[in-house]
Chains A and B, each alone.
Chain A
Amino acid sequence: MGEDTNDDVPTPPPHQHPHRGFLPDHNYVTEADIISTVEFNHTGELLATGDKGGRVVIFQREPEGKTEPFSQGEYNVYSTFQSHEPEFDYLKSLEIEEKINKIRWLPQQNAAHFLLSTNDKTIKLWKVSERDKRPEGYNLKDEEGRIKDISTVTSLQVPVLMPMDLMVEVSPRRVFANAHTYHVNSISVNSDCETYLSADDLRINLWHLGITDRSFNIVDIKPANMEDLTEVITAAEFHPFHCNLFVYSSSKGTLRLCDMREQALCDKHSKLFEEPEDPSARSFFSEIISSVSDVKFSHSGRYLLTRDYLTAKVWDLNMENKPLETYQVHDYLRSKLCSLYENDCIFDKFECAWNGSDSVIMTGAYNNFFRMFDRNTKRDVTLEASRESSKPRAVLKPRRVCAAGSKRRKDDISVDSLDFSKKILHTAWHPAENIIAIAATNNLYIFQDKLNSEMH
């Protein structure tokens, strides 16, 4: 970080030191630039990222059929805006970070796009719209704003709209504040398109998208005495099309599916997904590594994907007692949990993602590696998101980490040489195509299926 740490103070875009933009180097990464969430919209045409500086950057996919080869499918910056500012809660003497915890797109309702962004406390609804016309013609002044001589004004002029360069406008539409005592970790829009949920460590609230001064508490796991606290909510999501179902995960490694039809308060779950603990594998770290860091419904609505520290699991909604599939993300770390505990890495919250057809899952790891698992062929691959290793359009080379003690092959990386400061926590998969977005600290990598890109 060095000399540039002062830049933590959020600076409105454009950045004050543009030269650094061209020479990205980890030494220069300021905390504010670290990407904290990535999310495609429902068509995949837009991709939004949020960062620790409270900024949201929206990328738009370039329309196909441009003259330049290989330009199809590229995502270019469409708009950037400051979503959240750092605040101070004077009543509790707490600083409220501007970091964007989650972004969720609303289904498109007219020519404009809408998204929800949240930091620890406040959720905001943003409208992203285009404008290509502007009014021209004043009565009392000319277009430069110089006031006309009144004696020349002899007739009234109505302004006319003239075409202009396309301008993307972002405007705040609603602010949903003051409903969360703890840190918001998830937001999820309901399939009824009029409500959404927001979850913090101990409670889940239900909001109407049009009403900011009222929300309904649907889950509250806060014990009467905080000393009895044994688990916290880590993530929550609505079912993709059953408006009454939502799921939330806990730090104890369990998932609870709730049906809002049954009761107004969903303290009682309808289904509890939990894998019985293997007593032989029990250790000091068992509870920490079993904490679920992310939960995602499959597009089909049938399965749930969860991520804990070492594994990714697929659950069938119809089978509560064990996961359908368990994938080892980086099992070679099992022997290193002690040092990962000491450097706090063990508390990293990795997210996970489904591909469009629910056949492949993806999740991040350390050393800028990310993992993909094909559910049908049971094959898996480790890929690296890095600037140095390959030229644009080059095929990514699978990487392999060799566990301590096993035989090392050429190009293998030993566990000890993994860089734990380079972690891929946030990933997103295009809803229909094989395009993925990977957030690695301050870099956003977008990769595309080769077949797909050559087809065009």
Chain B
Amino acid sequence: KLLQTFVKIQISSSTLAYFKTKPVVKQERHSITLSTSKMAGADGDDSLYPIAVLIDELRNEDVQLRLNSIKKLSTIALALGVERTRTELLPFLTDTIYDEDEVLLALAEQLGNFTMLVGGPEYVHCLLPPLESLATVEETVVRDKAVESLRKISQEHSPVDLEVHFEPLVKRLASGDWFTSRTSACGLFSVCYPRVSSTVKAEIRQHFRTLCSDDTPMVRRAAASKLGEFAKVLELDYVKSDIISLFTALASDEQDSVRLLAVEACVSIATLLPQEDLETLVMPTLRQAAEDKSWRVRYMVADKFSELQKAVGPEITKNDLVPAFQNLLKDCEAEVRAAAANKVKEFCENLPEDSREQIIMTHILPCVKELVSDTNQHVKSALASVIMGLSTILGKDNTVEHLLPLFLAQLKDECPEVRLNIISNLDCVNEVIGIRQLSQSLLPAIVELAEDAKWRVRLAIIEYMPLLAGQLGVEFFDEKLNTLCMAWLIDHVYAIREAATCNLMKLVEKFGAEWAQNTIVPKVLGMANDPNYLHRMTTLFCINALSEACGQDITTKQMLPVVLKMSNDQVANVRFNVAKSLQKIGPVLDSNALQSEVKPVLEKLATDTDMDVKYFAQEAITPLALCCGSFSPSARTLVIQLSTKMRLKWWNDGQLAVV
């Protein structure tokens, strides 16, 4: 029957629709920019004016102005006085929830510090209406901030006010029509519970129970995330009777997103319960979560494993968590394995000392061995970032026998991130067995990373060079790694060349000026004659970086002549970098060299045909105080000060011209 009884009730074409709609005409932005001079001349109360502007701007079209006004809400309230703040300002703010999120966020934050401005704790409940309406907006950050402020001012309520004003608000929110208000209520139970009478307490528990079985997943999520916090303020008997059943229900919710939050609650509930109750009250749920059908829940268990381990204590850890952890390390979902792999070190560290080594060797290590050859590179690199930490726990002999082969395997891994993670944690192994054990395998791994096709990988290994150099010692470095460091200087990617110069500086800081003079300075200076101007510029960049670490002697005797010679370079970029270099190394040089060698070169560059060279030469002359000829020392200071504020041009006849 149904099919044939459709009747036409209306037709509307889209063009018609547009015509019928009333356009929302945006009010022209009106600016309140009365000139202050005009105000000063007027007879009105001058002190009112700034406040009047602030109040008017509370409803300005420009969000930024409204925001500024809201941020100065305390000034407005102070000017209005407590009485008018309560009766006029707060009612207005209560209805301002139409505003932009950022304004509402600022408002929610301000109201948390408003107690004194409404007349002290006696009147603090006046702040509840605006915060209540802010606690129902759809934007989570605003709601959370409103809840935070509500929690703050709840402490300023007297016990009587808490029951008369605050608790009814919590109830209203908890039974609100929209889920937004109900989610906000979840965060407020724990702050009022400890301070109210036992009948009200019973009501609060009832409300919380209702929200835990709310229709919408959003509310159940909010309740699940506050479960632990609420459990903490509850009497132990109620934790056992109420919270455990709610916890069990949430942990078997149909929505994955609710179940995974129950795992977090598990940690705080487990810490509250006496050891003997854990087995019956918490463990069944935890076991179930660790084997949940959804990988996201298992991921959460893996992610919170160390906290869980601490909360349930050593006995349960030995009996339950060790097998659970093994399963997580073998999980079919890579995300879960990676999360578990990240926890390997922490988990092993926190194992009870008496059986730690035995558990690691028989239960954990076999799984770890498998993970070393995992199919997923994220799992491998997560493992690589913590695996070195096991060596301190297992001691020298076990490390050499069991862990070393794993380190070596990971150093040869196809994924650069895995190798990098191993290399970046070398210090842990160094303490236990010394790095020599590894150096044979380390070198090929480093060389390969140093020549990786991806420049980001090369960049990452460069950053570990100073660390490696420190651990491997100067001999090994000179022998094996020095060439690499020099090769990076002529990399075709600028970022690598830049990082390489920085690396050289750190190496010199570590090994000293003498080492620099013998090994790297000659090579760097040799590049000054390279046919490629980019390499010639690298020489300059290196000199910039090294001059301070190398000291005056090397800089003046070896580097300066090269720099000065390069001032005749045919490429303008090189020439103006000479000027910049001279400016940079100037402070390191002695004043003699500065006057007799640097000054003429800079003056020559200042008359260069290229305008950039000219500019940088002039830039260099002033701070080096090379223009001091006709000025007294105080004038020189003046010039230096001026030059930082504006560009000065120095003319030969000693005049200052401001450009």
User: Which residues of A pack against B, CB within 8 Å?
Assistant: 13-15, 18, 20-22, 24, 33, 35, 49, 51, 55, 57, 59, 70, 73-77, 79-80, 107-112, 114, 127, 129, 131, 133, 135, 138-141, 145, 147, 149-161, 167-169, 191-194, 210, 241-244, 260-264, 360, 372, 374, 379-381, 383, 387, 390-396, 398, 434, 436, 442-451, 453
Contact = CB atoms under 8 A, between A and B. Distances in A.
Interface in B415-447: none
Across the A-B interface, the 10 shortest Cβ-Cβ residue pairs? A261-B294, A139-B52, A158-B88, A450-B5, A13-B18, A150-B42, A21-B19, A110-B178, A150-B44, A21-B16
Contact of B255 (A80, A191, A264, A444): A191
24 contacts: A21-B19, A22-B16, A24-B13, A35-B14, A57-B17, A110-B178, A135-B58, A141-B32, A151-B42, A153-B44, A156-B48, A160-B88, A160-B92, A194-B221, A243-B217, A243-B257, A244-B294, A261-B293, A372-B3, A396-B4, A442-B13, A442-B15, A448-B7, A450-B6
Nearest to A169: B24
Contacts of B12: 59, 75, 77, 443-444, 446
A152 B49 CA distance: 12
Interface in B276-303: 292-296
B7 A158 contact: no
Of the listed residues A80, A434, A448, A451, the one surrounded by the most CB atoms of chain B closer than 10 A to its CB is A80
Interface string B49-74: 10111011011000000000000000
B555 to A, nearest CB: 47
Contacts of A191: 217, 255
B59 A159 contact: yes
Contacts of B43: 150-151
Interface string B455-470: 0000000000000000
A156 B55 contact: yes
B203 interface: no
Contact of B138 (A55, A127, A149, A150): A127
B6 A447 contact: yes
Interface string B255-274: 11100000000000000000
Contact of A131 (B2, B5, B52, B98): B98
Given A192-B256, A260-B256, 20 more contacts: A24-B16, A55-B18, A57-B18, A110-B138, A140-B53, A141-B32, A150-B38, A156-B51, A156-B84, A160-B88, A192-B257, A194-B217, A243-B254, A262-B332, A263-B332, A264-B333, A374-B3, A393-B9, A395-B5, A443-B14
B180 A57 contact: no
Contacts of A109: 138, 178-180, 218
Given A21-B18, A243-B255, A446 B10 contact: yes
Contacts of A446: 9-12
A168 B21 CA distance: 10
Nearest to A112: B138
Given A15-B15, A109-B218, A446-B9, A360 B79 contact: no
A18 B38 CA distance: 48
B4 A15 contact: no
Contact of A261 (B20, B21, B138, B296): B296
Contacts of A157: 55
Contacts of B56: 138-141
Interface size class, chain B = 35 or more
Nearest to B58: A159
Nearest to A18: B19
A360 B1 CA distance: 12
B454 interface: no
B645 interface: no
B10 A392 contact: yes
B48 A33 contact: no
B15 A21 contact: yes
Interface in B322-345: 332-335
A285 B3 CA distance: 32
Contacts of A55: 14, 18
Nearest to A447: B6
A248 B437 CA distance: 54
Contacts of A22: 16, 19
Nearest to B141: A210
Contacts of B180: 109-110
A46 B334 CA distance: 43
A142 B143 CA distance: 35
Contacts of B18: 13-15, 21, 55, 57, 80
Nearest to A374: B3
A57 B293 CA distance: 42
Given A151-B44, A443-B11, A242 B254 contact: yes
Given A151-B42, A191-B217, A70 B9 contact: yes
B92 A135 contact: yes
Nearest to A157: B55
A261 B295 contact: yes
B2 A360 contact: yes
B25 to A, nearest CB: 10
B331 to A, nearest CB: 10
B147 to A, nearest CB: 15
Contacts of B296: 260-261
A158 B92 contact: yes
B45 interface: yes
B245 interface: no
A155 B19 CA distance: 45
